[in-house]
Every structure is written in C-alpha cells, then in structure tokens.
C-alpha cells in the first residue's frame, strides 16, 4: 500500500500534539518556578532565560491549537528549550545537579519529532552538554572518577537507545495496525477509511499547489450472476483478479480502494477528468479483452465507471463520490462496459 510523504507524520499527529500541549504547560509553570529559585540565588541570567521560555511556551500553546505545521512548532519549542538547558548547565552558579536534565533530551526529542530528527537532536545537544560538563568539571577529581563517568555515560546511551528503539517499534506497530484497519481483507486493497485519510492529504496538497485531483468509481457488470452461477468462491476470485488488474495498471502514486461489494474507487492525483477517463478506459479494455477461468469456465468480465474531479464536481469525498456515482449510474443505464464523465 503506497503512502505519500508525510503520511506517517499525519498518523502520529494527534498523540504528538497532545504531548506537546502537556510539555508546554509543564514548561510554563516549571519556568516560573525555576526563575523564582534562580533569582533567589542570584543566578539572574538563567532566571531571565527561564522566564523568557515560560512566556514563549504560553505563546506556543495558543499557536498550536489550530496549526497544520505541528512538526515545525515542535522543533521551534525544542531548540530554545534545549538551548536554555545548555545555558543553565554552562552557568558558573549552577550545580552539577542541573546536568540530570540531559536524560530528558532523547525521550522528548524522539516522542515529538520522530526517530530520525529525534536522534539527530539528541546527539547534538547531549554532545554540547558533554563538552560543557568537561569544561566545568574536568579539573574536579571527584567528578572525574571512572564510576561517576561510567554511570552517566551508560545511562545516557541507554536512554538514547531505548527512545530510538521505542520510536521505531511504535512506527512499525502503528503501520501494521493502520494497514489492518484500512485494508480490505479479501483483495488487500485500501478500504473506505484509508481512502478518506488519503483524500484529505491529497486535497490539502491540491489546495497548496493547485494540481488536479480526480476520483473514479468502477463497478463490475452483472457481478451477481457470477455468484449465482459459479458460487461465492468464484466471485471472490473475480474480485481479487480485478483488484490486481487495477493495481498493476495505475501509477504507484494513485490509490485503488475497494468501496464494498463489487464497487471500487480510483483516487488519481495530478489527473484531470479527461486523463482520468483514459486511465479508467484502459482498465475497462484490459478487463474485457481476456477471459477469466472460474471453476473451469471462461468468463469475460466488464466494468462500468463514473468520474468526478475535485473542484468542478465538489470539494469533499462524499460529494465527489455521489457525483461519480451518478455518472456510474449513467454508464450502467446506457449499456454498461463504458466510462461516463
């Protein structure tokens, strides 16, 4: 099942948004708390930085409520948050206890921006924190003891590894569960739920770039006769055959979905109505030119179709489906084995 770039981020968006919301609230209140503590200790530079971060977190909390650029704002939160953390670690007035915050870096990074960017950000800031630690405490024999360094190093590496492996496992599990929930078990094609998700992504791309997007409904002609004459096993074989024919005819970026029964759908990005007619007619001709062996009997299948284009025929999946279905009915009522647009 082909998924366009950004599809995985689209799936992860709800839980990442909830996590970012929680972190922004925590950062706001903890920033106020630590600013108060550091002002009391005379550590004014760090205190001011924490007040700035608290204010910034509150602003971000308002921004991300309706944003579509969640990953951008997650990065916009993490970079200043970790940078201020480095400032606190580098401050001469801060104790060694502040370095415990580095353990948060790999966890938060991976959860908010995924395994690739999360790993890169973790290595960057943990590397900076390590340099600061040796700069400040490299002359302190007590801090440079091998057991101390070994404990810190092993724990840090474990957190990086655990965060990275968790994110890989989460992505794989999410993909597997999504595929099960979004696939038709008989044909292994995407189902209506996956079609809706993919349509939303393609419509957003259409709105940004202005590229055409077409939808085709295809319905096997006289399919009930196959079930009645040859049995349901033969009917299943016919559906699988047609699904495979469509899959091997369209482009990788096109989506073939089963709507239910003998009805299928093509979602064709960067394709106008006339181009969609050519694609659908190619499928129609291929299907009608070769007989399928069903229980020892050669059966020639035919298909009828209807086409709708985003914008000209509607701007939601339901409206486009209804429009294509009207054209499909027109193709059926005027003799079948044809495509109407």
Tens-place pLDDT, residues 48-57:
989 999 999 9
| Six token digits for residue 49 | 């930085």
Cα torsion angle, 221, 225, 226, 228, sign: positive
Whether 263 shows a pLDDT value over 90: the answer reads yes
Determine contact, residues 35/87, Cβ cutoff 8 Å: no
d(CA 322, CA 265) in angstroms, rounded, equals: 12
Mean pLDDT of the 261-265 span: 95
Mean pLDDT of the chain: 90
How sure is the predictor about 12, in pLDDT bands with cuts at 50, 70 and 90? low
Helix (H, G, I), strand (E, B) or coil at 268: strand
Domain(s) of CATH 3.30.70.270: residues in the chain: 192-340
Query: What is the pLDDT at residue 291?
Result: 87
Fold of domain 192-340:
Alpha-Beta Plaits (3.30.70)
pTM for this entry? 0.60
How sure is the predictor about 7, in pLDDT bands with cuts at 50, 70 and 90? low
Mean pLDDT of the 142-165 span: 91
Tens-place pLDDT, residues 52-76:
999 999 999 999 888 878 889 999 9
Query: What is the pLDDT at residue 70?
Result: 85
How sure is the predictor about 93, in pLDDT bands with cuts at 50, 70 and 90? confident
């Amino acid at each position: 099942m082909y998924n366009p770039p950004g599809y995985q981020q689209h799936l992860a968006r709800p839980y990442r948004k909830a996590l970012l919301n929680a972190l922004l609230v925590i950062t706001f209140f903890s920033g106020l708390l630590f600013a108060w503590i550091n002002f009391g200790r005379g550590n004014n530079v760090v205190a001011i930085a924490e007040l700035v971060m608290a204010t910034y977190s509150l602003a971000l909390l308002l921004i991300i409520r309706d944003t579509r650029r969640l990953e951008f704002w997650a990065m916009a939160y993490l970079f200043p948050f970790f940078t201020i953390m480095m400032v606190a670690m580098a401050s001469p007035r801060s104790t060694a206890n502040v370095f415990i915050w580095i353990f948060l870096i790999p966890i938060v990074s991976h959860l908010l921006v995924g395994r690739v960017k999360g790993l890169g950000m973790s290595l960057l800031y943990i590397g900076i924190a390590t340099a600061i630690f040796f700069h400040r405490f490299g002359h302190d024999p007590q801090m440079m003891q091998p057991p101390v360094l070994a404990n810190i190093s092993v724990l840090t590496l474990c957190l990086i590894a655990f965060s990275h492996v968790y994110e890989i496992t989460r992505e794989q599990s999410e993909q597997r569960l999504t595929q099960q929930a979004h696939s038709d078990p008989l044909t292994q094609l995407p189902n209506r739920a996956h079609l809706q998700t993919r349509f939303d992504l393609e419509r957003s791309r259409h709105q940004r770039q202005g590229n055409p997007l077409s939808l085709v409904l295809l319905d096997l002609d006289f399919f009930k006769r196959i079930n009645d004459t040859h049995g349901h096993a033969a009917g299943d074989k016919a559906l699988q055959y047609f699904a495979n024919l469509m899959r091997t005819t369209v482009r990788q970026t096109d989506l073939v979905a089963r709507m239910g029964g003998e009805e299928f759908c093509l979602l064709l990005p960067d394709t106008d109505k006339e181009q969609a007619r050519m694609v659908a007619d190619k499928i129609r001709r291929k299907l009608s030119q070769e007989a399928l062996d069903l229980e020892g009997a050669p059966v020639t299948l035919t298909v009828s179709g209807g086409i709708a284009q985003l914008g000209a025929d509607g701007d939601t999946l339901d409206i486009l489906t209804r429009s294509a279905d009207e054209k499909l009915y027109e193709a059926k009522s005027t003799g079948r084995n044809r495509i109407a647009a």
